[in-house]
Each structure stands twice: as C-alpha cells, then as structure tokens.
C-alpha cells in the first residue's frame, strides 16, 4: 500500500438519483423488503457463526457435519472444521435426483456461431469421465492442475472434475501469454494442464496449445497435457505427454464415486496482480467458498428455477469461478456461456444472445457497458430484450452515466441493477443491493450483505463518519475469504492484515458512506490522487468526464506537480461523431470544474482512440501514469490487451 493516510479522502461525486425496488419484483423476490434485509443483518450480527451455519445446513449437501464453525487465528481462518462435502456433488449429483436431471445446465455458443447445450445429467457424466481420466493420469487429491482454456463447456467440466477428486485447480486466463502461464504453473507446481488446440476471439484463433508447448518446455512439474479439439487447426502433439481429450474421454467410465472432502481443502488457486510484479496465488477453500457462492447467487441475483442466467466473465477470472460455475450450478441454474468478443461479428452479439436464449439475468462489467454506450443504442435496439428481469455489474466502480444507460437502454427501465462489490480475495459478493429490498443509487454498491462486517475506517482502524472517505475493511472473517497466498502465508499477512491494526482485512480500496450509510467505492487507494492536499478518487473525475456528452471513456492519473504535489492528467476517448479539438479540451476541463470543483480540473486532457486495458478489461492506469509522468513506459506490459492503443498514445508525445 502506498499511502494509508486516507482519513481526509474527499469525495466529490454527489449522485442524488434513487431507484426503489418495483413492488411487483419485490413480491416475488427471495428478500422482499428492507425490513427483511435489516432483520437478516441483525440476526447475523447477533451471532455470526450461527447465521453462517444455518445457511451452510440449508444450502449445501454435507457428507460429514462440522464440529466447529470457525477457528480464527488471525490472519488464518478455518470454517466448518471437521465437516466434509464434495463441491462437484453439490453442483451436479444432487440435482440428478430431481426434475433438474434433464434441465439445461449450460447453453453454449461459440464465437463462430456453433451451439451446444448440456443437461445436468450430461454435464455430470462428462465430469465423472474426466475425473476418471485425471485419476488414470496420476492426478490425486491435493495435486494441482492448470486449466488454460477458451470459454467452452469443457472449461467448466475441467474445474468440476478437479473439484470432484480434490485436485486443486489453477485456471489461467486464456488471454495470458506462454510466459505468464509458465510462471503460474511453476508457482503452483501443477502436474497436468487441461487446454485446447485453440479458441476463437474476434474471428481469429488464439493459439492455446502452442502457448502451452512453449510454457511446459520450462515447467518440470508437468507430466501430462490434455487437449480439447476446438478449432481443429494443426497442433503439435508430443507423444507420451499430450493426449487428445476426446480420445481419453471415449474410453472413460461415466460413473465415478465422489470422495468426501474436508471443508478447508484448497479448491483452487487463482492468480491476481498485486502492487509488486509477482502475481499472488489466492487460495480458496472448499466449503466456506461454496457456501458464499451459493448464498450470494441466490440472494443478489434473486435466482429462481426458471431463470436463464448469463454472466459474461471468463472462467479465467474469479467472477467466472464463482458466478459462471460454482454459484449458479450449485443452485441448479441454467447458465449461458459465450466464447467470444461482444462485437463479433457486429456490436450486437450480446443482445442477439440475450434475445435467442431469453436470458433473464445478465451480469457484466462497467468497462463493457461503456463500450456499448460508445457503439450506440442502435445495436441493442435491434433485439428483443424483454426477457431480462435483472442486471448486474462487477469489477470496478460504475460511472453513474453508464449505470443510467444500462438501466434505460438494456433494462428498459424495468430491471433492477445490482452493482456488486467484491474481489478475488473475498471469493464472493460482499456488498450489493438485494434487488427486491434495496433502493439503488447509480454508482453505489449500496449496503453490505448480511454477515459481512464491511466498514470504512482511517489508518488506525477507527470508523470514519458518514460522508468522509477512508479505507474499506472487513472487520470479521467470512466463510469465502482467501485462506492464504499459495506458498507465502507471510505475504498474505503483509498484504491484507498489516496496514490497519485490529486483525481486520484491508481490501486495498478507498470508499465512503453517504448519509444513508450506502457504500461508494472510490477505487484502489493507489488510484487516489492527492491534489494540493485534497484527496480525490480518480474514478470520480472519470465519472465527471464520462457524464460529458462527447466522452465515451476516461482514465485519470496523477503526475508529479511542483506546486500541487500531483497534477491530473485525463486520457479520454470520444463517442462517435465527437471531434478532437482544443475547444473540446477546454470544455472538458470546465465540465469537470463544474461537476466537482476547480480542485479536480485536469491539467492535461489527452485524446485517444482506446485506453490501454488488461485482458480482463481493467484500464492499466499504471501505464498511463508512467506515460503521463515521464512520457515513456518501462513497466511490465504483459497483461495488456491491445498494445496498439498504448503505442498511439506514446507517438503523440
């Protein structure tokens, strides 16, 4: 953490619009009113362990009951100690005894337009076969398996098969390079990789197998590589090491007796970036993790038996783990999975998919929403989106103007929007509206879920008054919290449990609560600028810029400034039809001054066609900061999605 002195963090975003739940929606929702929500919160506060146990009993199928709900030796938490269950049984086998047996589990659409669906019975058979294959290839409980796949059903099958036998999976996003894959395999000491020959992205083939070949040339722990045939293009197969998935699956048995697995067994490792260069392998547990996935999927998405649910995240990110695979499947939901880009072949691909499958719940990221805004209303307007009943966002603060567009153009002003705050480390959603109960405000993730002790504090751990900015922490352990950083428990302690006293978990985010107690996440604290002694969230200035009619997207960074400490540089991409000019630059500066105040007025506005982003869609402010301060980029660009965007900006220097 760069600077923990955030007790005077100033917040200038003053969003006044509110949206109360529609009574017809509330009447049918799992949580129907604010009174119900408050009763749940009070019950959880009275006895948190009892609260979580009740849900654990009701929502999960156990093979052995736990002896102790929580063993908390800060920073190490163990939940449901002594209990045992199998995650794959919870996601699959238990549905086979009901009508869900023949219910569609996965509705898959490939980027080229191929379609496939799997019922729960079919998905179960696939997972059993792969569990048998993995065991034959020498993968045992506790071994690590790397999964490097396109967004195809086999990615979920691989995760569930690992879970079934107690192998800890490490999904590496298919957009990562061979080097990134190699480092992650080596850090985890994975024994086997599940991959595909390739995947489709914007009409081209992502050469997954070739990347695996380059990576495993330098990973001594890998013994076998399983390859799904997806694209059919020619790939090298090394005899003895590489196996075609369809070959080994053809002879595998479709029955498999799932072992009983301890609550605290590591279900998966997922690598995420920290402030240092080395990615952190966040480790999640079996029972506590699954519990929060199921509970939040049910309450936040108000999931019902008849819903068709689509979370657009890739399984390479935590959202794909918790809200494509584990949460929805454990609830027996029908999940849409789409392989490719939202603008392939045209910018209406998502809306076409929603209309085709009659999607009722749609969960995506603000960065995608801003792209949709930029592409124009005509694309969603071509399609029938009347099946939608609930919308969600995750990944970064959503600018109120993007929220309003989502509400109006996609939600037809009828769908509640759940802005869900959480992190790789939290495993599941922590702060979000309950759609039948909570009045929403554009840009706020509203209120913590029951049982989640979220607070805004100063660097000493003291709560700050409503209206003041501070540091976002979680006061008590929760079931789906990270258990450790793989191979480096000390780093886990340093990163999350050392900046703020009191054995509290520090999220790394800055936030404030408004007069109603609503949470407004202002972004990472290292994205907070100190301008002439005033602290401003970069996101707030960005929101102001995005509320200008010409702006599609904006990223704000600081650069050293002799007089003010930090100067503000805004990188801005414009909507179609808007023209780059000095007048517009001045206009934007004035606009920010008007929206927030002179303190937030950008010193420099720079126009760009596209902002440099990670493959998960996060703007790489670090690169922009370097560019803004020194005019060059020396840092690591391996996670950059589109290098050309950056090159262009550099050329303009």
Q: Which residues bind ligand PRX (CB under 6 A)?
A: 272, 318-319, 394-397, 419-424, 445, 507-509, 521, 523-524
Contacts of 73 (CB under 8 A, 6+ apart): none
CB of 394 to ligand PRX, least distance (A): 5
Say how many Å lie between the first and final Cα of the chain, rounded: 30
- If the CB atoms of residues 469 and 523 are measured against ligand PRX, the closer one turns out to be 523
Give the C-alpha distances (Å, rounded to integers) separating 177 from 144, 158, 193, 224, 621.
20, 20, 15, 20, 21
CA distance 405 to 242: 48
- Based on CB atoms, which residue is closest to ligand PRX, 62 or 496? 496
Instruction: Please state the closest distance from residue 259 (CB atom) to ligand PRX, in A.
Output: 30
Residue closer to ligand PRX by CB (options 90, 420) is 420
Classify the phi-psi angles of 244: left when phi > 0, otherwise alpha if psi is within -120 to 50, otherwise beta.
beta
Least separation in angstroms between CB 566 and ligand PRX: 20
Q: What are phi and psi of 581, to 5 degrees?
A: -160, 160
CB of 425 to ligand PRX, least distance (A): 7
The residue among 110 and 288 lying less far from ligand PRX, judged by its C-beta, is 288
3-state secondary structure of 515: coil
**Nearest distance from C-beta of residue 522 to ligand PRX, angstroms:** 8
Longest dimension (CA), the chain: 72
Cα–Cα distance, 586 to 564 (Å, whole number): 20
Q: Is the CB of 340 or the CB of 397 nearer to ligand PRX? A: 397
Is the separation of the CB atoms in 544 and 399 below 8 Å?
no
Tokens of 638: 């391996």
Which residue carries 């001045």 as its tokens? 586
Let me know: does 212 contact 195? Beta carbons within 8 Å.
yes
Q: How many residues does the chain have?
A: 653
Choose between 406 and 422: whose C-beta lies nearer to ligand PRX: 422
Shortest Å, Cβ 419 to ligand PRX: 5
Sign of CA dihedral 435, 438, 441, 443: negative
As given in the structure block, the two tokens for residue 618 are: 């996060």
Residue with tokens 């081209």: 204
Nearer to ligand PRX, 122 or 419 (CB): 419
Nearer to ligand PRX, 521 or 555 (CB): 521
Which residues share a beta bridge with 474? 454, 505
Minimal distance in Å, beta carbon 480 to ligand PRX?
A: 12
Give the span between the Cα atoms of 409 and 373, in whole angstroms: 9
Minimal CB distance residue for ligand PRX: 424
Find the shortest distance in angstroms from Cβ 210 to ligand PRX: 27
Q: Which two tokens stand for residue 330?
A: 């454990």
Shortest approach of ligand PRX to residue 291 CB, angstroms? 17
The token pair at 375 is: 């592409």
What is the smallest separation between the CB atom of 550 and ligand PRX, expressed in angstroms? 25
Q: 127 vs 500, which CB is nearer to ligand PRX?
A: 500
* Beta carbon of residue 456, minimum distance to ligand PRX (angstroms, whole number): 13
The least CB distance from residue 511 to ligand PRX, in Å, is 8
Our CB check for ligand PRX shows the closer of 22 and 423 to be: 423
Residues whose CB falls within 8 Å of the CB of residue 115, separated by 6 or more in sequence, listed in order:
107, 108, 109
- Minimum Å gap between C-beta 473 and ligand PRX is 12
Residues sharing a CB contact under 8 Å with residue 433, sequence separation 6 or more, in sequence order = 300, 416, 417, 418, 419, 439, 440, 445, 446, 447
Closest CB to ligand PRX among residues 507, 547: 507
Instruction: Give Rg (Cα) of the chain.
Output: 24
Integer CA distances (angstroms), 362 to 308, 309, 348, 403, 410, in order:
9, 6, 15, 14, 10
CA distance 229 to 124: 20
- Considering beta carbons, is residue 104 or 319 the nearer one to ligand PRX? 319
3-class secondary structure, 342: coil
Concatenated DSSP letters of 105-173: EEEEE-TTS-EEEEEHHHHHHHHHHHHHHHHHTT--TT-EEEEE--SSHHHHHHHHHHHHHTPEEEE--
Helix (H) or strand (E) holding 552: strand 551-561
The count of other CB atoms within 10 Å of the CB of residue 248 is 19
Closest separation in Å from C-beta 363 to ligand PRX: 11
Q: Distance between CA 72 and CA 143 in Å, rounded?
A: 26
> How would you classify the pairing of strands 242-244 and 224-228?
parallel
Nearer to ligand PRX, 134 or 611 (CB): 611
Token reading at 563: 């007089």
Least distance (Å) between residue 120 CB and ligand PRX: 27
Which of 85/402 has CB closer to ligand PRX?
A: 402
Which lies closer to ligand PRX via its Cβ, residue 332 or residue 508? 508
């Amino acid at each position: 953490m760069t600077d923990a002195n955030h007790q005077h963090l100033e917040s200038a975003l003053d969003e006044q619009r509110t949206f109360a739940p529609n009574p017809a929606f509330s009447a049918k929702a799992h949580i129907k009113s604010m009174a119900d929500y408050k009763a749940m919160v009070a019950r959880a506060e009275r006895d948190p362990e009892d609260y979580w146990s009740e849900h654990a009993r009701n929502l999960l199928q156990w093979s052995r009951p736990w002896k102790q709900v929580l063993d908390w030796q800060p920073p190490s938490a163990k939940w449901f100690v002594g209990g045992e269950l199998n995650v794959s049984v919870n996601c699959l086998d238990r549905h086979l005894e009901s009508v869900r047996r023949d219910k569609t589990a996965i509705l898959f659409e490939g980027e080229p337009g191929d379609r496939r669906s799997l019922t729960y019975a079919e998905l179960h058979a696939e997972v059993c076969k792969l569990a048998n294959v993995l065991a034959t290839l020498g993968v045992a409980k506790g071994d690590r398996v790397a999964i490097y796949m396109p967004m195809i059903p086999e990615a979920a099958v691989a995760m569930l098969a690992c879970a079934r036998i107690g192998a800890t999976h490490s999904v590496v996003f298919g957009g990562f390079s061979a080097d990134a894959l190699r480092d992650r395999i080596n850090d985890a000491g994975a024994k086997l990789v599940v991959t595909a020959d390739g995947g489709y992205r914007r009409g081209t083939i992502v050469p997954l197998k070739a990347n695996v070949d380059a990576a495993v040339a330098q990973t001594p722990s890998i013994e076998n590589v399983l390859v799904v045939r997806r694209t059919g293009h020619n790939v090298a197969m090394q005899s003895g090491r590489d196996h075609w998935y369809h070959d080994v699956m053809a002879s595998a048995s479709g029955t498999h007796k799932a072992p009983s697995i301890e609550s605290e067994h590591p279900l998966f490792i997922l690598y995420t970036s920290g402030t240092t260069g080395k990615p952190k392998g966040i480790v999640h547990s079996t029972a506590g993790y699954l519990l929060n996935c199921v509970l939040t999927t049910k309450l936040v998405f108000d999931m019902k038996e008849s819903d068709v649910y689509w979370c657009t995240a890739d399984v390479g990110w935590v959202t794909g783990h918790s809200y494509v695979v584990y949460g929805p499947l454990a609830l027996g939901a029908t999940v849409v999975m789409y392989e490719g880009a939202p603008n392939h072949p045209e910018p209406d691909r998502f809306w076409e998919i929603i209309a085709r499958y009659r999607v009722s719940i749609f969960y995506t990221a603000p960065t995608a929403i801003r792209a949709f805004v930029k592409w124009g209303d005509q694309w969603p307007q071509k399609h029938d989106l009347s099946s939608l009943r609930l919308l969600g966002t995750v990944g970064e603060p959503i600018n109120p103007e993007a929220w309003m567009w989502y509400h109006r153009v996609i939600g037809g002003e009828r769908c509640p929007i759940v802005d869900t705050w959480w992190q790789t480390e939290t495993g599941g959603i922590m702060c979000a509206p309950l759609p039948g109960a909570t009045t929403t405000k554009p840009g706020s993730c509203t209120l913590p879920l029951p049982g989640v002790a979220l607070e805004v504090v100063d660097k000493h751990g003291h709560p700050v008054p409503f209206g003041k900015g501070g540091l976002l922490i979680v006061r008590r352990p929760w079931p789906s919290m990270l258990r450790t950083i793989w191979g480096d428990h000390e780093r886990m302690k340093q990163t999350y449990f050392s900046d703020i006293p009191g054995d509290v978990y520090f999220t790394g985010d800055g936030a404030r609560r408004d007069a109603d107690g609503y949470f407004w996440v202002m972004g990472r604290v290292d994205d907070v600028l100190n301008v002439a002694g005033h602290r401003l969230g970069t996101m707030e200035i960005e929101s102001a810029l995005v509320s200008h009619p010409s702006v599609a997207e904006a990223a704000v960074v600081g650069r050293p400034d002799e007089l003010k400490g930090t100067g503000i540089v805004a990188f801005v991409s414009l909507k179609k039809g808007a023209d780059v000019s000095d007048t517009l630059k001045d206009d934007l500066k004035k606009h920010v001054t008007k929206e927030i105040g002179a303190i937030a007025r950008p010193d420099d506005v720079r126009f760009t066609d596209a902002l440099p982003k990670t493959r998960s869609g996060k703007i790489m402010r670090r690169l922009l900061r370097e560019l803004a301060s020194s005019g060059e980029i020396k840092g690591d660009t391996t996670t950059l999605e589109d290098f050309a965007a950056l090159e262009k900006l550099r050329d303009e220097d």
